[in-house]
Amino acid sequence: MNKKTVRDIDVSGKRVLVRVDFNVPLDDQQHITDDTRIVAALPTIRYLLDHGAAVILMSHLGRPKGQPVAAMRLAPIAIRLSELLKLPVETTADCIGPEAEQKAKALQAGQVLLLENLRFHKEEEKNDPEFARQLAALGDLYVNDAFGTAHRAHASTEGVTHTLPGVSGFLVEKEINFLGSALEHPQRPFVAIVGGAKVSDKIAVLERLISLADSILIGGGMANTFLKAQGYEIGDSLLEESKVDVARELITKAKEQGKQFVLPTDVVIADRFAADANHKVVAATEVPQGWRILDIGPATIQDFYAVLAKAQTIVWNGTLGVAEMPAFAKGTEATIQHLVERTQAGATTIIGGGDSAAAVEQAGAASKMSHVSTGGGASLEFLEGRILPGVAALQDK
């Protein structure tokens, strides 16, 4: 990565404003159900504290649409962060204004302050210059360690860099290095697994991966549109009718470039979209009317495994079935197991955020992969080859 990181600047005695991604899931009792994103930010926070900085953290949580929402306050996150750091973490009632300014100014080296939810102000997502200036005024230096929002030009990710010199934290550096090396200098064979519900969400990433990868494995709801493009009947399955021609073009493009483009040969179908629906395995060519495809079948799992068994670099984005329903999570679960085996055999395995990352976390397999991205949308846009505003805004080495 050609951007400066916290290693490249002197932070001693400085107030360092850090954009983190603490957008974590909470239950009805305001308890954090998954602290992965908080844990991911710890290396940068600890480095800054160890090097004599006062650390001011800022994050969003949920979608409060520009106004305070009690259930989206960051107090539970401050409590968890305090437990992890074994340090008190002070909070503010707002991310800007007199109280935030006073607490930021009084912060001493080795202390941590967590500002209130950035998105309680509509100016955050609008990248309002005055709001960005008020945030920037709280610190002497800026660090972006929120890869999950790096694809957005918001006040806290891009706007503040017009006032404060900005560098990358360790998490952003790790994300860019893993995803970048996988795309630019992959060990081959390079296999991409692409799932999820819609082809429309993945057209750009598929076009790029067809040019870069040796094999592309297709699953999830989006596979239905590709099956339809092959002339198969898919019953009542999810279908993007307007993208059938695009799917056909992508298959043709892969063939013309000599790439392996693997579609399901068998599927798990259900008589309705429900966890307790009647279900069975059929050939992908024999889906009856009134039934819908909800997972890849056992033969397809074996087809995928045959390709993955030789792979040296694997990038996966999107689940391969309705993974939140146990009966239709077999394809996703088997793929996780295959990737664990490949990692143990020395292959590089990268999980590109979003639902696939959540499935890997839930399976307890995150530590067994080479890298699990913390940014769904950001990793997808990076895979597409797009510039991420939150990274572009940082200082070059």
Tokens linked to 224: 């239905």
Q: Is 353 a catalytic residue?
A: no
Q: Which has the closest alpha carbon to 175: 397, 391, 392, 395?
A: 391
Q: Which of 221, 321, 353, 354 is catalytic?
A: 354
Q: CA 56, 57, 61: angle at the middle one, nearest 5?
A: 155
Rg of the chain's alpha carbons, rounded to an integer? Answer: 23
Q: Which of 37, 103, 119, 152 is catalytic?
A: 37
The DSSP element (H or E) to which 57 belongs, if any, is strand 54-58
- For residue 317, the cross-strand partners are 194
Q: Is 354 a catalytic residue?
A: yes
Q: Which of 133, 368, 377, 386 is catalytic?
A: 377
Q: Give the CA count within 13 Å in the CB-facing half-sphere of 207.
A: 10
Q: Which of 198, 208, 253, 259 is catalytic?
A: 198
Contacts of 34 (CB under 8 A, 6+ apart): 24, 25, 361
Long-range contacts for 83-91 (Cβ within 8 Å, ≥24 apart)? 84/35, 84/38, 84/39, 84/42, 85/42, 85/45, 85/46, 85/49, 85/112, 87/49, 87/111, 87/112, 88/112, 89/113, 89/114, 90/114, 91/115, 91/116
Q: Which has the closest alpha carbon to 340: 368, 317, 364?
A: 368
Q: Is 37 a catalytic residue?
A: yes
Catalytic residues: 37, 198, 354, 377
